[in-house]
Amino acid sequence: MIPFAFGDVTVTRVVEIPRSAYPTASMLPDSTPETIARHDAWLRPHFYDESTGDLGSRIQTWVVRMPGRTILIDTGVGNGKTRHESPLWNQRQGTWLDDLAAVGVRPEQVDTVVCTHLHVDHVGWNTRLEGGRWVPTFPQARYVIPGEEWEFWTWEAAEGREASGCIADSVTPIVEAGGAALVDARHEIAPGLRFEPTPGHTPGHVAVRLTTPAGEAVFSGDLMHRTVQVAEPQWSSRFCHDPVHARKTRQAFIESHADTATLILPAHFPKPGYIIRAPEGFRFRPA
């Protein structure tokens, strides 16, 4: 992907896994093939993967570079971690660090890692295995985490309800190393870059808004998993902690960003783009 430029700020993505571990019918349990098929005219080809015969999905990281700053938003699944819920994730040995280097970023250059929430496919590269221990992948970075999200998931882990193990191997080591900043849901990460609360998918889920004189963008995390949700926002994912709240948050987000110049960069869409209104309802136009 050619970097998006907002004046002296650039946004690049690094794709870790170019497909989902879950087909759309499983990811969006309220969806139907018939309803999805009605959206084919605008979903294909940009948001459809012929290789899987399904709507496209990615696990990816957004790299934001501004003067003096290199910031990562979400860090994927990671390598060498036990993830029994998905063969694609379990004990993975991928090229993500090499791919990050290919866009000009070495781990020691990263000053900030942003977590939109603490699900397994958003925190994996927070840490890497070194000498039998999980240590921060980005030794100079401050890891910015919504405080409410940390509180919720540490409680879930303590009660045995966090089955993936990602809190233990990808988040707790950061906190114990003193590298985490546990902040509120409207925290300013850098000039022009701040959190916005978008709860529902998880209790402390946040989006990240970039505001510059040259334009605006929102990294929307898991507010939406498949592009069809722009047109069918009532469909929440199987992993939403509060599907009803997630639906309301998503609907409000779509309505408020439709027909604006705000670039939307979801965590899992094949391409970023713009929410537009059409006679038939809301649509997503690739950037």
**Using 50, 70 and 90 to split pLDDT, how confident is the model at 218?**
very high
Query: Is residue 24 domain-shared with residue 48, that is, in the same domain?
Result: yes
Query: Is residue 14 domain-shared with residue 70, that is, in the same domain?
Result: yes
Query: Is residue 92 domain-shared with residue 134, that is, in the same domain?
Result: yes
Query: Is residue 194 domain-shared with residue 112, that is, in the same domain?
Result: yes
Among residues 162, 183, 199, which one ends one of the domains? 199
**Structural domain contains residue 65:** yes
Query: Is residue 277 domain-shared with residue 148, that is, in the same domain?
Result: no
- Whether the per-residue pLDDT at 1 is higher than 80: the answer is no
Among residues 199, 233, 267, which one ends one of the domains? 199
Query: Is residue 28 domain-shared with residue 168, that is, in the same domain?
Result: no
**Structural domain contains residue 213:** no
**Structural domain contains residue 24:** yes
> Could you tell me what percent of the chain has a pLDDT over 70?
100
Query: Is residue 10 domain-shared with residue 47, that is, in the same domain?
Result: no
Q: Total structural domains in the chain?
A: 2
pLDDT digits (tens, 9 = 90+) for 55-109: 999 999 999 999 999 999 999 999 999 999 999 999 999 999 999 999 999 999 9
We report the CATH number of the domain holding residue 194 as 3.60.15.10
For residue 196, the model assigns a pLDDT of 98
For residue 30, the model assigns a pLDDT of 98
| Summary mean pLDDT of the chain | 97
Query: Is residue 134 domain-shared with residue 106, that is, in the same domain?
Result: yes
Query: Is residue 4 domain-shared with residue 138, that is, in the same domain?
Result: yes
Contacts of 245 (CB under 8 A, 6+ apart): 199, 200
**Structural domain contains residue 212:** no
Q: What residue numbers bound the domain in which 5 lies?
A: 1-18+60-199
**Structural domain contains residue 3:** yes
Q: Does the global pTM surpass 0.85? A: yes
**Structural domain contains residue 146:** yes
**Using 50, 70 and 90 to split pLDDT, how confident is the model at 2?**
confident
pLDDT, mean of residues 31-53: 97
Query: Is residue 279 domain-shared with residue 195, that is, in the same domain?
Result: no
**Structural domain contains residue 150:** yes
| Whether 254 contacts 198, CB under 8 Å | no
Query: Is residue 229 domain-shared with residue 280, that is, in the same domain?
Result: yes
Query: Is residue 46 domain-shared with residue 129, that is, in the same domain?
Result: no
**Structural domain contains residue 91:** yes
